[in-house]
Every structure is written in C-alpha cells, then in structure tokens.
Chains A and B, each alone.
Chain A
C-alpha cells in the first residue's frame, strides 16, 4: 500500500504541475500580452479556465495531505526550513484565487476595479509558480541544513540560491508554455490562434533557456545534475522522450493540431518530472551533508498508510470520473459553440 500512496503523491504533484501550471500560465501569458490584446486574451482565458480552475488547484491540497499524513517528518522538515518560500507561495495562491473570483464576480465591471484585480492576478500568477519551483529546487539542492546555527543559514539560504531560483524561473516558463499550448485550442478566431502559437513559441524558447540555466546554476552550486539525469537509463530516456516531443510540437504547432500538441506538451512536462523524480527516488528531500529524507523510510506506520491508501483509492473513484466529466462537458460545449 505504501507504493499506492507514493504513486498518488507523485500523481498529485504531476497533475498540479500540469493543470495548476497551465492555470498559472494563463496569468503569465496575460502578463506578457501587449495592452491591446489583453482583453481578448482575458476573455478566452475566462471561458477556458473558469469552470475548471478551482478543481485544478485541489491537487495541491491532495499532495499536502498525503505528505503530512503519510510522511510527517518530511512535511515537518520542509515546513520548518522552507517556511519563507512556502509563505510567499501561499500569499500568491491567496491573491491569485481571490483576484480571479473577484474579477469574475464583481457585479459592477468598473475599469479601475477590474484593472486592480487584473494586476493582482497576473503578478501573483507569476510569483506563485516561481516559488513553487524554488521549493521544488530547494528540496534537491542539498542546501537545507538541519544543524544550521544562524537564522540566515537555516531559513534563508536553504532556498535562496542560484539553482533554486533557476528552477523557479524554469517552472514559470513551463507553466506559460503549457498555458499557451492549451489556449491555442480554445481561441475562437484565426488571429488569436496565431497569437497563441507565437506565445507558445516564445515560452518554449524561454523554457529551453531557463532549462539551460538550471544546468549552469547546478554546476555553480556543485549539484551533480548532469550525472543524476544522464547517469541512469530511466531519466536519460525520459529526457530524450521530452526532447523528441519538443520537436514534434514544433512541427505540429504550425499545423494547429490542438489535441496532439496538448498531449505532447503534457507528455513533455511529465517526462521532465519523471527524469527529476526518478533520479532521486525514493528520496524526497536531500539535505546538506549528504543526508536524505526518503519516502521509503520516513513514512507513517503501516496502518496509517493502509487507511490513507484506501481513502485515496476510494476517493479517486469519485473524483476522477466527475473531473473527467467536468472537462469533457465544458470542452464539448465550447466546441459546439464554435460550429
């Protein structure tokens, strides 16, 4: 049952990255859209993510609950040493969620108030995945020091390093890319389609650049990232698969095949996460001095893991079909509307 729980943990993280990421990305795209095109982007985005965005963010809750029920020591250490980036991420989540709801449900659509919500929405859409990425980067950067003596060593430099920040920026770029790809299929006219294709291209280039930056900063921080990725066959094949799907996307994007591009972009990100996850598995957090917080040793007792696994399995019987039906319904209705 431990493996069921671990599988759900990674599934929740992956889905949050894909669905929540695309969701953050929508705000990032809006942030980097020229003033003239903003309202058009906003309208498409509202229709595309309005019904589903709340559900997309539930994956974070699922991941956190699995972590604190199943792997409490890992959760408690992360909460202690990554307190500050988690705090910023939380404020981002709060600002973003409320700003999106407010701009949709303000009964009076005044220009100033809407502008205000938009500003909060786009900046928090940028900051939240940045800090999510920083947290993820910090988990593997070996900068968390369980024996740190000073405030800065324990709570600041645990996450404030070149590598973690580079991972944060890479996360932002990937989110933007996922959103652009998603929005291509949602656009209602040829102009918008072209615009989102261009955005997807830009975001893709930025993602590749930041991906390179991740490797460079890993070198600076003495993190053996290349060895981790190229040193085992699974990570290596995942990276190759990600690169191939990147090329496929380049070819298909100009042809506007929305379903295949979406799948391929999702596949690409999944492969990136697989490469990263596999090379560390079962270690979830890597700490200074060579220690690891492993999922296979720091788990709760078997009774807790068993009950948690049952809850997740039964819960997913309810969640997954209804979630699928939600996506399907609004996808179908949107398509019907277009013809």
Chain B
C-alpha cells in the first residue's frame, strides 16, 4: 500500500468510527431528555431509570466521540498539511464555532451526569437537553465544513492563490443546508433504530419488559419519524449534488452517457472501460425526473468530464445503491411502526414485529457509512472540489501505512470495548433498575 492510499484509508477509518460514536452521542441525549421529562411529569420511576441507563450510554459515546474527534482535528493536519495550510483560514469558521458548541456540550454533560439529586429538576433536565442541542449544533457545523470541500465558496482562486477570503460565505456555501439536513436526519434515524432494536431484543427475551417497552417506544418514534422524512432530504441533496458536483452524481448513478429521458440504474456492475452497467435494472426517464422534475430533460453524464477528474465509479455507485436500499427499507419499517401504533396495537409485542426491528439494529449505521463513502469517494480526485487534488495535499512523511495499521487496530479495539461495555450495561439493567425489588 502506498503512502497516499494509506493516508486516505487512515482518514476513512478515523471518520468512519467517529461518525458512529458522534451520531449516537448527539442523538441519545434527546431520548434521555424525553424520558427524563416524562419522569418529572408523571413521577413514574421507570422513566427515571431509563433516562439514567441511557445517560451511561451517552457518557460512553461522548467520551469516545470526543477523543476520536480530537484525533480527527489533528489528523487533518497530520495527513493533509497542504490542504489545511490553504483551507484552514477559509473553512475554519464552522470549526471555531464547533469548538464552542463542543465545549458547551462537555460542560452540560458534566452538570447532567453528576447532577442527579443535586440540582432542581428543571435545571438538571435542561442541562441534559443542552447536551443534545449543542451536540447537534456541533454535528451541523462539522458537516458544513465538509460541504465546503464539496462546494467551495468564500474565496477567489486566481493563479493558484486563494484571494478575497470570506469565512462566513464559505460556511454558508451552497451545499451546507442539504448536507446538514440529510446528516442530522440520518443521525436520528440510525440511532433511533439501533437503540430501539436493542430494546426490542430485550423485550423478545422477556427481560424487564416494562422498562424496555417504554424505552423502545421513545427511541423508535424518533427513528421512524426521521426515516420517513429522510427521502425528502435525500431528494434535496441529490438535486444539489447534480447542480454542484455532476461528477459525483454521474458516479453515484453509474451514468456514463449524456441523454434525454436519462435512466436511473439500480444495482449492476459498472464497467468503466466499455462505459456500460452490466446486470443493472434500468428505469428510463427516472434520473431526469429526479434531477429536473420532468422525465424528458437531458442530464449531463460522466462523458462531459475528463477521466482524470472522475471519481472511482464502482464503489460510489455501489455505496449509493446500498444507502438507498437501506434507507427505503427503514422508511417502510418506520411507516409500519406508526401503522401498528395507530391501528394494530396487537402487533407491538408480536415476535415477528420485534424481529424486524432487531434485524434493523445496524441498518442505519450501514447506510450512514455508505452515504459518507458516496460523499467522500465521490468527491475524488479532489480534496477541494475543482481546486486542489487530494494527492497534492498529502503529508510528505513516508511510512503512513504503519500509522494506518496502528489506527485501524486501535479503532477496532475501541469499538469492541464499547460494545463490551454496552452489553454489560444492558446485562445489569435488572439489577440496577428493576423497580419490583
């Protein structure tokens, strides 16, 4: 593995794990706050126990999210010093604000975790909610920084010089809203389904059914609502990608030839030599419809772009289809839940119904990872779209493959440790929170 590939892989591994930790760390506080609120309103101790149990999860994920985020803020410079040298002053605004939001999150978390029976209910509840709000704000800001790499704004690029820098314009570039909305909904649906699925597993095993049923409901309402809204934000995002990064859209759809009634291809194996997709299912006109809202208008394809400026097509297309497939399944599952809630209450404790949600535990995170592969791999060969190539940004230090191996080992170990800890938390629910005792 050469150093450039190693640097990209190390960045991918670091981001891939950080995304999971931070999604859970920023969304779970909302579940916790709802349960906490219900306890304050109803006095039902089960809700307090759920909030306490979830707060342990939040603490674990905040700690792992914080350290992996700290590592990333250094890795930007350690792996991509030339990129940071030029991009830092332009897209740094959201990072500065994120530092503030993250700081507030850490302070609020200190209050919340150590504040049981120390502060008034209202203040204590508010600090828990603040953990979530500042967490989401951090997430949106970081995604806004990423969107600038996809859709650079706030400077003039003249003869290799970055002039007239305006960090505020860079922050509010044309893609920040589409990306931030899509990611925020993704975080809610992935975390909602994952948390709900774990509680469904416990219900299916007849363990502390009352506790887990209430917990399941809070988590799945968030997850299902977000999953149902997600396709709409996906549509906004796709139109925005076509407008700003036609190469990425071309790779996502494995769409080689510019044509009217542009087809959408599901699945298949893109062949970059013959510029065809084998074994795919083609729906004529659908891509035109997605991009232009009518079936006839031509859509620009990869043939408009020199091959040296094209991203890897196979992996981008596959990741995109995977994301769409899982996202659609989650949306249907979300609709099924609301149907059960309103019309078919008897389904809620049926084995098959619970099994569907158990099966869906990892689904949201697989879709999130696939989505980020589309975003990041689909932007290649650029680190700043159309301005700077990723290969120009990489550190001159040789031997990056060794740090890549090291970080890969570290992240896998860390994740195993987190899973181990969570399983112990869940195992101890009867002892710690059983109200019958």
Partner of B93, one of A60, A98, A311: A311
Instruction: Tell me if B78 and A79 are in contact (CB < 8 A).
Output: yes
A72-108 toward B: CB 8 Å interface, digit per residue (1/0)?
1101111110010011001101100110111011111
Asked whether A326 lies within 8 Å of B110 as measured between CB atoms, the reply is yes
Residue pair A68, B102 in contact (C-beta under 8 Å): no
Contact of A287 with B by CB under 8 A: no
Asked if A76 meets B424 with Cβ closer than 8 Å, knowing A69-B88, A300-B89, the reply is: no
Docked CA distance A68–B103 (Å): 18
Q: Chain A contact residues: over half helix, strand or loop, or mixed?
A: helix
Q: Are B397 and A83 in contact (CB under 8 A)?
A: yes
Known: A65-B92, A76-B84, A319-B100. A54 touches B74 (CB 8 A): no
Q: How far is the CA of A182 from the CA of B69 in the complex (A)?
A: 28
Q: Which of B103, B395, B396, B432 contacts A319 (CB 8 A)?
A: B103
State A271–B411 Cα separation when bound (angstroms): 39
- B90 and A97 contacting across the interface, CB-CB below 8 Å: no
Judge whether A315 is part of the interface by a CB distance below 8 angstroms.
Answer: yes
Which of B56, B110, B395 interacts with A105 by CB under 8 Å?
Answer: B56
B428–A108 CB distance below 8 A: yes
B160-168, B294-302, B332-340, B380-388: which one contacts chain A? B160-168
Complex-state Cα separation, A68 to B108, whole angstroms: 26
The interface residues of chain B lying within 8 Å CB-to-CB of A102 are: 60, 63, 417, 421
Give B395-437 interface residues, CB cut-off 8 Å to A: 395-399, 403, 406, 410, 414, 417, 421, 424-425, 427-428, 432
Q: Which of B195-237 contact A (CB under 8 A)?
A: none
Query: A87 contacts B78, CB within 8 Å?
Result: yes
**Chain B interface size, under 10 / 10 to 19 / 20 to 34 / 35 or more:** 35 or more
Per-position binary interface string of chain A over residues 272-314, scored 1 when its CB falls under 8 Å from any chain B CB and 0 otherwise = 0000000000000000000000000000110110011001101
* B85 interface neighbour in A76, A151, A315, A333, Cβ under 8 Å: A76
Answer whether residue A198 sits at the interface, using C-beta atoms and an 8 A cutoff: no
> Once bound together, how far apart are the Cα atoms of A225 and B389, in whole Å?
43
Q: B165, A107: Cβ atoms under 8 Å?
A: no
In Å, the complex CA distance between A319 and B96 comes to: 13
Residues of B within 8 A of A64 (CB): 73-74
Establish whether residues B74 and A86, one from each chain, have CB atoms under 8 Å apart when the complex forms.
yes
B59 within 8 A of A: yes
Rounded to whole Å, the gap between the CB of A305 and the closest CB of chain B is 8
Which of A62, A107, A154 touches B99 (beta carbons < 8 Å)?
Answer: A62
Asked whether, in the complex, the Cβ of B63 is within 8 Å of the Cβ of A101, the reply is yes
Task: Assess whether A61 is interfacial by the CB under 8 Å rule.
Answer: yes
Specify which chain A residues have a CB less than 8 angstroms from the CB of B95 in the assembled complex: 65, 68-69
Q: Is A155 an interface residue (CB 8 A)?
A: yes
Can you name 22 A-B pairs with beta carbons within 8 Å? A65-B96, A68-B73, A72-B88, A76-B81, A76-B85, A79-B81, A87-B403, A94-B67, A94-B70, A94-B410, A97-B64, A105-B56, A107-B425, A154-B397, A155-B397, A304-B89, A304-B167, A308-B92, A311-B96, A311-B97, A319-B107, A329-B115
Listed from nearest, the 7 A-B pairs whose CB atoms lie closest are A69-B92, A79-B77, A300-B89, A101-B63, A315-B100, A72-B88, A107-B428
Interface residues of chain B, those whose CB is within 8 Å of chain A, are 56, 59-60, 62-64, 66-71, 73-74, 76-78, 81-82, 84-90, 92-93, 95-100, 102-104, 106-111, 113-115, 118-119, 165-168, 395-399, 403, 406, 410, 414, 417, 421, 424-425, 427-428, 432
